[in-house]
Amino acid sequence: MIASSELIINDDGSIFHLHIKPEQLAERIILVGDPARVAFIGDYLDSKECDVSNREFHSITGSYKSKRLSIISHGIGCDNIDIVINELDSLANIDFRTRTIKPDFQQLTMVRIGTSGGLQPFVPIGTCVAAEKSIGLDGVLYFYAGSEKVRDLAFESELLRQLDWKISGLQPYVVPSDASLLAQIVCDDILCGTTIAANGFYGPQGRELRLSLSDPLLNQKIETFEYNGQKITNYEMESSALAGLSAMMGHKAMTVCCIIAGRVDKNMNTEYQSSLPELIEKVLDRI
């Protein structure tokens, strides 16, 4: 039996942070960072079963072209992904009445739709990039036993070597997205790339305002990195924990982002909201 301090269930039977109940979760899930984007995507649904909000977590479950879907916001950062993925897995695979793991595993399929900064000339603003591999600068996976089973250890070693890694106390990890889900979502209109999930927006992504960077050359080294024909395409903040935790739990997950900033050219599309509907529609049709 899982203790009440470990699996926190609200008085109404909902999970602690998301505030949704097991019966309100669909097996197909679209994840987004911005709670307002949940309502935007929710307008595409043909019908809605529930609409629940708590803090940065906004959830809508309904039907789209006869497919039952949940649309859920996770906020910013891999720490929030740790909350969301654990609670989604609990909703699917733990009996809330007995507080025991269900005998039959329920696999979830999760696609995160996000925005990102491009790191290469071949991913200009407006490009859609799916994270075939995610590089985690967050450390979340290291708190769970067995992470090496889902990580690309050879890629990690080459990353440390080529980047001449200088940031003490932090070692990047690399996780591939679910291959079958990538094949399902990615067509010629979406580029497969290698995405960095940074553990911050400013210094961890090489932005320098009033504080100096511990490795001012890191972004230059990232841009020139190449391993087995793969280059690092973009920065965001959630893909690694999503791919890693989902793989360890047996779920299918991936991230696809619209590039809204060119980090090399130092340009930014602040009106990026208008570029997302096309990507949203593609994911809705293909998930």
Nearest-angstrom CA–CA distance, 169 and 210: 23
Same domain assignment for residues 18 and 97: yes
Strands (E), the chain: 28-32, 47-54, 57-64, 67-73, 94-95, 100-101, 109-118, 128-136, 173-176, 191-197, 226-227, 230-236, 252-262, 267-268
Same domain assignment for residues 49 and 167: no
pLDDT tens for each residue of 204-228: 999 999 999 999 999 999 999 999 9
The pLDDT value given to residue 182: 98
Same domain assignment for residues 21 and 2: yes
The pLDDT value given to residue 60: 98
Note the pTM of the prediction, 2 decimals: 0.94
Write down which residue in 45, 72, 106 finishes a domain.
106
CB 81 within 8 A of CB 74: yes
The pLDDT value given to residue 32: 98
pLDDT tens for each residue of 231-246: 999 999 999 999 999 9
| pLDDT band of 270, cuts 50, 70, 90 | low
Looking at the DSSP assignment, which residues form a beta bridge with residue 28?
Answer: 69, 109
- Domain CATH for 91: 3.40.50.1580
pLDDT tens for each residue of 167-208: 999 999 999 999 999 999 999 999 999 999 999 999 999 999
Looking at the DSSP assignment, which residues form a beta bridge with residue 133?
Answer: 176, 194
Judged against a pLDDT cut of 90, whether residue 262 lies above it is answered with no
Same domain assignment for residues 70 and 99: yes
CB 31 within 8 A of CB 84: yes
Nearest-angstrom CA–CA distance, 22 and 87: 10
Mean pLDDT computed over every residue of the chain: 95
Q: Name which of 70-84, 182-196, 261-275 the model is least confident about.
A: 261-275
Same domain assignment for residues 134 and 257: yes
Same domain assignment for residues 36 and 165: no
Same domain assignment for residues 138 and 54: no
Nearest-angstrom CA–CA distance, 128 and 126: 7
Query: Mean pLDDT throughout 4-33?
Result: 98
Same domain assignment for residues 210 and 89: no
The pLDDT value given to residue 78: 97
Residue-number span of the structural domain to which 16 is assigned: 1-106
Is residue 91 within a helix (H) or strand (E), and if so which, with residue range?
Answer: helix 78-93
pLDDT tens for each residue of 41-68: 999 999 999 999 999 999 999 999 999 9
Q: Which of 198, 203, 272, 192 is nearest to 235 (CA)?
A: 198
CB 66 within 8 A of CB 80: no
Residue 279, classed as helix, strand or coil, is helix
Answer with the residue of higher pLDDT: 83 or 274. 83
| pLDDT band of 271, cuts 50, 70, 90 | low
Same domain assignment for residues 159 and 255: yes
Same domain assignment for residues 2 and 57: yes
Same domain assignment for residues 88 and 222: no
CB 128 within 8 A of CB 191: yes
Judged against a pLDDT cut of 80, whether residue 272 lies above it is answered with no
Query: Mean pLDDT throughout 98-122?
Result: 96
Write down which residue in 106, 132, 161 finishes a domain.
106
pLDDT tens for each residue of 129-166: 999 999 999 999 999 999 999 999 999 999 999 999 99
Structural domains counted in the chain: 2
Same domain assignment for residues 61 and 123: no
The pLDDT value given to residue 218: 95
- 116 contact partners, CB below 8 Å, separation of at least 6: 129, 195, 234, 235, 236, 257, 258, 259, 260, 261
Judged against a pLDDT cut of 70, whether residue 268 lies above it is answered with no
Nearest-angstrom CA–CA distance, 88 and 270: 32
Write down which residue in 48, 80, 106 finishes a domain.
106
